[in-house]
């Protein structure tokens, strides 16, 4: 905002003062040319001051808004990690690192997926918290996360018995398949009208780190059974 001021000419100012003196002497303040000029001047000053006050109030409100309202927290950037090709094996009776030899690369791969990419998982069971957290974080940074999990957890046997991890994923991703992200369960292995199960474990990434179209075909579920059993 800028303001421009112009100085009144010396002759005009003298004329106004002289006219004011004549009006005062005649006992008619505010009449004639001086009164009209003074009234116009006062009106202009009042109008200018009102506009100035409004502008200052607006600036103060804006400044307070900038101070009071914090900026939205940005999602964490993807991890700098690219999965390696080849076979991996874990040792369910070994050290923590040996037990997690299969789950760690999956979790790191999820963390390395950039926004706009797609993650697709199929599994029989799901109760591994680090992977659930990584999938929710990926969804929050703009990754499309699509999960298909066997329904034995809560639909075929006793409704409401699904794991806390599945509940958290369902809350974060939703179940609407028309949306970019969702979690779905499949009765009877998606292929039958009688009791059967999805027993495949597929971890698919349109991109993970610098690698594109990554496929991990495993015997390990994202659960304790895929780590120490």
Given a cut of 90, is residue 122 above it in pLDDT? Answer: yes
* Mean per-residue pLDDT over the chain, rounded: 76
Q: In the Cβ-directed half-sphere of 82, how many Cα atoms lie within 13 Å?
A: 6
- Residue 13 binned pLDDT confidence (cut-offs 50, 70, 90): very low
* Interior angle at CA 96, CA 90 and CA 100, nearest 5: 40
Work out the number of other CB atoms within 10 angstroms of the CB of residue 186: 17
3-state secondary structure the chain: CCCCCCCCCHHHHHHHHHHHHHHHHHCCCCCHHHHHHHHHHHHHHHHHHHHHHHHHHHHHHHHHHHHHCCCCCCCCCCCCCCCCCCCCCCCCCCCHHHHCCCHHHHHHHHHHCCCCCEEEEEECCCCCHHHHHHHHHHHHCCCEEEEEEEHHHCCCCCCCCCCHHHHHHHHHHCCCCCCCCEEEEEHHHHCCCCCCCCCCEEEEEEEECCEEEEEEEECCCCCHHHCCC
Inter-axis angle of helices 129-140 and 103-112, to 10 degrees? 10
Cβ neighbours of residue 205 closer than 8 Å, sequence gap 6 or more? 109, 110, 113, 117, 118, 119, 120, 211, 213, 214, 215
Distance CA(129)–CA(169), nearest Å, equals 10
What's the rounded mean pLDDT across residues 108-123?
96
Please give the pLDDT value at position 54.
Answer: 72
Q: 29-52, pLDDT tens digit by residue?
A: 444 444 555 555 566 656 666 676
**The predicted structure's pLDDT at residue 88:** 94
pTM above 0.85, yes or no: no
When pLDDT is averaged across residues 159-174 and rounded to a whole number, the result is: 84
pLDDT for res 17: 40
Q: How would you class 169 by CB atoms within 10 Å of its CB: exposed for 0-12, middle for 13-18, buried for 19 or more?
A: buried
């Amino acid at each position: 905002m800028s303001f421009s001021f112009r100085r009144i000419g010396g002759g005009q100012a003298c004329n106004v003062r002289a006219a004011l003196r004549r009006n005062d002497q005649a006992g008619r303040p505010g009449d004639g040319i001086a009164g009209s000029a003074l009234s116009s001047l006062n009106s202009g000053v009042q109008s200018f001051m009102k506009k100035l006050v409004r502008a200052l109030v607006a600036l103060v409100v804006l400044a307070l808004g900038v101070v009071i309202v914090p900026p939205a927290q940005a999602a964490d950037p993807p991890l700098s990690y690219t999965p390696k090709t080849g076979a991996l094996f874990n040792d369910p009776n070994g050290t923590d690192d040996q037990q997690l030899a299969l789950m760690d690369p999956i979790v790191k791969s999820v963390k390395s997926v950039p926004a706009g990419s797609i993650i697709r998982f199929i599994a029989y069971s799901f109760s591994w918290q680090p992977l659930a957290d990584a999938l929710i974080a990926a969804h929050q940074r703009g990754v499309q996360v699509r999960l298909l999990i066997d329904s034995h957890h809560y639909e075929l046997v006793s409704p409401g018995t699904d794991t806390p991890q599945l509940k958290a994923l369902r809350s974060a991703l939703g179940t609407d398949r028309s949306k970019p992200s969702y979690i779905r369960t499949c009765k009877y292995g998606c292929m039958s009208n009688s009791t059967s199960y999805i027993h495949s474990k597929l971890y698919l990434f349109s991109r993970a780190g610098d690698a594109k179209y990554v496929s991990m075909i495993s015997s390990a579920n994202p659960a304790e059974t895929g780590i120490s059993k």
